[in-house]
Structure 1
Amino acid sequence: MEPLFTGALLGAAGSALVKAFDGPFKSIEDLWYTNFGYKTALKRAEYEAKVESFKQDLLKELSKIPKENQQEPRLCVAGPAMEAAKYFVEEDSLRQMFAKLVASTSDSSKFIKAHPAFVNIISQLAPFEANILQNTNILLAPSPCCKIRFQKKETDSKAFSFTNMSEGHSIIDHFITFDNLQIAPDELELYSSLLDNITRLNLCEIPANYTLTNDTLYDKYLNIPLLNSFLEQYKAELTSSEKITGNDVFFLKETVIPTSFGKMFFEACIRQN
């Protein structure tokens, strides 16, 4: 249960319970705290510690603003950001983004980039996605990615290699990895959905038929053991009707490109000063 709600529960119901435990039932009050109350107290203490971390994050970001650039924050951004942040203080990456956004509204050199929509965008990011945005250059420059399909084999094409699209269906619409981050076994699906969400939020786009000129940048996708194991298992689990003769797993080159909106988000919510 959320601390905000448990706090209210203890404030209203808790006071009633204390009164109910007066008199001969006083010892039950101690039993209640031992079995239930201390858990709420611990949860509240943990939450308050995270709120303090948010305060320190915010003070740290504000301290980086040159004196000549300091200004009153834009309330249309800072207000909703502070309101939303209370639900995300337990997630370090998201908490830090909110702190940077509020600080950006207080910096005359940045406030124009602190778009009101950024509050909702941060709120719609998973901690995993926020961590990717903070620790890669995906919002700074074009990055190689790929589509993975089970489709008809073209002449001279080899399974588990790059080719053009042909008749079949997608296994993974868009997939991306990063040289500085290793995929954990339980993160494969998260990497598969990452691009779906950040393109939905208009932070990036994946233009059709656009690939990077350096083909070697795509080679890494053919040598990911965790991904290959997943694809082999996918093939093994196909029904007999799906195992069409001549169809196999193939990769299609794609490129994810940051939008102007995404670059502005990076400046206001991520860039390290």
Structure 2
Amino acid sequence: MNEIIETISSAPKVLEETYSDLVSGALKEAGKIGVDAVKTIRLALFPLQYAAALQDRLARYIDQSIAQVPNDRRIAPMESLILPVSEKLKYQEEDNPITILYINLLSRGLDKERLGEAHPAFINIITQLAPDEALIINELGNEGYRLYFLSNTKKNKIIGNNELSLSQGFNVLNDQIKNLLLSKKINHDILGNPSLLLTFIEHLVSLGIITYNNEIFNDGELREVRLRFSSFTYYCIELSEFGKLFYKACIKK
């Protein structure tokens, strides 16, 4: 602890004057992972332009990241990770789903057993995500592949469960396939802007996070759908290998 105090004391006087109790707590907790970590975190927390409120909020985020890592697995974070992540976090609202992605990514950088998950591209990926897109990634990560159906007569009209179950041809499917279709259909009702589902999907495809895989309709468990059910156009989406790593690093606990 004396080393931590010396580290803080060696900071320029103007930085000492901005030192708040909440940030102090974050640094003391960070001290458990070593003096080098404290120095790195101090650099992230104390640029002169930081307002006090942003400082305090960022300190809470840092605390949360550290708390997610068991004591015996904590390591000093790389500046190339903590500095850009801290820069993003200082403007993130606490109730924004994107905030937890940054916090989780920072935790991976502090964890010697999960450090390899902290791909450098993930910072820029998170920056480009809408909150609803994070929810889609989470659903795919938790549940595996997901389906969505489009109307054959109305361009880009997404078919809901009620319309699907009442459609011509649905009743010719066996009960197992019916239940599978309904359970695997993407739940766009959880989205804040469900009408933008297709836009979100295409954006996630462009980022390399998700991919289309309609092989399941050719040789997989939904082959019967292709053979008997033509009322709608159907698509299957899943996380790419890169997307699975992103989910593991930034979303999965």
Aligned 8 A contact 2:105 2:250 in 1: yes
Return the offset for 1:147: 4.2
Task: Go from structure 1 to structure 2 and tell me whether the alpha carbon gap of 1:267 and 1:97 turns closer, same or farther (over 3 Å shift).
Answer: same
| Structure-2 separation of matches of 1:84 and 1:98 | 8
Aligned 8 A contact 1:145 1:253 in 2: yes
Partner of 1:69: 73
Unmatched tracts of structure 1, length 5 or more: 1-46, 152-158, 164-175, 223-248
Between Structure 1 and Structure 2, the one with more strand by share is 1
Aligned-residue CA RMSD (Å):
3.6
| Structure-2 separation of matches of 1:147 and 1:113 | 36
Task: Go from structure 1 to structure 2 and tell me whether the alpha carbon gap of 1:256 and 1:139 turns closer, same or farther (over 3 Å shift).
Answer: farther
Structure showing greater Rg: 1
2:189 paired residue among 182, 187, 194: 182
TM-score (norm 1): 0.53
Return the offset for 1:143: 1.7
The letter for the 2-side match of 1:65 is V
Deviates more, 1:209-218 or 1:56-65: 209-218
Aligned residue for 1:137, secondary structure, equals helix
Partner of 1:106: 110
Partner of 2:146: 143
Unmatched tracts of structure 2, length 5 or more: 1-50, 155-165, 171-184
1:125 paired residue among 123, 129, 133: 129
Does 2:250 match 1:269?
Answer: yes
TM-score (norm 2): 0.57
Give the aligned length.
Answer: 174
Task: Go from structure 1 to structure 2 and tell me whether the alpha carbon gap of 1:83 and 1:268 turns closer, same or farther (over 3 Å shift).
Answer: same
Task: Go from structure 1 to structure 2 and tell me whether the alpha carbon gap of 1:119 and 1:70 turns closer, same or farther (over 3 Å shift).
Answer: same
Aligned residue for 2:140, secondary structure, equals coil
2:221 paired residue among 169, 194, 213: 213
| Structure-2 separation of matches of 1:194 and 1:215 | 27
| Structure-1 separation of matches of 2:73 and 2:95 | 29
Bigger relative contact order, structure 1 or 2 (CA pairs below 8 A, ≥6 apart): 1
Partner of 1:25: none
| Structure-2 separation of matches of 1:160 and 1:138 | 29
Aligned 8 A contact 1:77 1:105 in 2: yes
Question: Deviation digits for residues 111-157 of structure 1, max 9, x if unmatched?
Answer: 111011101111100122223334x2346622222344439xxxxxx
Aligned residue for 2:148, secondary structure, equals strand
